[in-house]
């Protein structure tokens, strides 16, 4: 069945170029009314102009779609609230939020100025928080919402020189993990997209022109569309690039139990191999499940009956 967004309203941040532009164009092609948000800054976050967003709007309108340009800075909650208000005033609702805006200030941790570190976290993490907070009540009231956080392999796995970016990109995964629980009963689904594509953010990292030809933004956007569809999953980390698609999961090993007399740092260190044994590892949904798991282990070993 073809995915359609007829009658739906989408906000895409950082939509003036690269992945955001691709996302906005495809959402519009499938019928969504789109707020094309872009501060118009350089990839390091400096400067600003609405021309990039307006160009994308012109493309959407020329193809028969509806869109408005918006230059809100995602780090400024007041500006973000105004952006959401503009969308609701214009079209009556907001169904989809794609948190895509981002910047780079790459340097090794030893050389990274704290102002740069804070700015990167503000844009990627707090920008996602601001935009999500601004649409949250609208989505709760209408009992429908699709929100995507943009994470990264740099956050999931690490990348030299990107401690600021990696910390922020892991942060949005934590945000998703809780918001999917809080939004589920209101019909709000929250997912993460981990993209790799040929954009101005990656042009220095991937110099091979043949590789860049394969890493199309459109191949990533296919994954994005799946994450905001009516039948989208919930709490899914979708990795996408060059036509490849995979899921990242955070797994916890079964672990071991140490009796009170063995609950020492020395015994933990001596048992790291057993602790790390991947047999029967599982994905936990909700942090309290870890507590329950450990309590059950302890109670079973000590012959204690829990729950009354």
Which positions are catalytic?
A: 165
Separation between Cα atoms, residue 34 and residue 52, nearest integer Å: 15
Q: Which residues pair with 247 in a beta bridge?
A: 238
Q: Spell out where 151-295 has E strands.
A: 188-195, 237-241, 244-248, 251-252, 282-283
* Backbone CA torsion sign across 5, 6, 9, 10: positive
Separation between Cα atoms, residue 181 and residue 79, nearest integer Å: 27
Query: Which residues, at least 6 apart from 288, have a Cβ–Cβ distance to it below 8 Å?
Result: none
* Backbone CA torsion sign across 23, 29, 35, 40: positive
CB 290 within 8 A of CB 284: yes
Separation between Cα atoms, residue 59 and residue 69, nearest integer Å: 12
């Amino acid at each position: 069945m073809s995915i359609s967004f007829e009658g739906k309203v989408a906000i895409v941040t950082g939509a003036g170029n690269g992945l955001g532009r691709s996302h906005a164009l495809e959402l519009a092609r499938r019928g969504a009314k789109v707020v094309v948000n872009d501060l118009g800054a350089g990839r390091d976050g400096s400067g600003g102009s609405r021309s990039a967003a307006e160009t994308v709007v012109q493309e959407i309108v020329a193809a028969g779609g509806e869109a408005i340009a918006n230059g809100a800075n995602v780090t400024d909650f007041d500006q973000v609230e105004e952006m959401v208000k503009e969308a609701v005033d214009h079209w009556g609702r907001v169904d989809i939020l794609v948190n895509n805006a981002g910047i780079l200030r790459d340097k090794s941790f030893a050389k990274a100025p704290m102002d740069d570190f804070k700015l990167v976290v503000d844009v990627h993490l707090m920008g996602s928080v601001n935009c999500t907070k601004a649409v949250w009540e609208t989505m709760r009231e209408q009992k429908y919402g699709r929100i995507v956080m943009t994470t990264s392999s740099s956050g999931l796995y690490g990348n030299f020189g990107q401690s600021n970016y990696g910390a922020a990109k892991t942060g949005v995964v934590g945000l998703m993990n809780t918001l999917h629980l809080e939004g589920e009963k209101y019909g709000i689904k929250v997912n993460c997209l981990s993209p790799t594509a040929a954009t101005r953010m990656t042009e220095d990292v991937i110099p091979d022109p043949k590789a860049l030809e394969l890493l199309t933004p459109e191949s990533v956007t296919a994954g994005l569309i799946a994450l905001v569809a009516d039948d989208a999953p919930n709490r899914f980390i979708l990795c996408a690039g060059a036509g490849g698609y995979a899921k990242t999961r955070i797994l916890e090993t079964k672990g071991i139990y140490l009796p009170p007399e063995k609950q020492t740092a020395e015994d933990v260190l001596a048992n790291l191999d057993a602790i790390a044994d991947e047999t029967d590892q599982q994905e936990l949904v909700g942090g309290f499940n870890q507590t329950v798991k450990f309590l059950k282990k302890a109670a079973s070993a000590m012959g204690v009956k829990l729950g009354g």
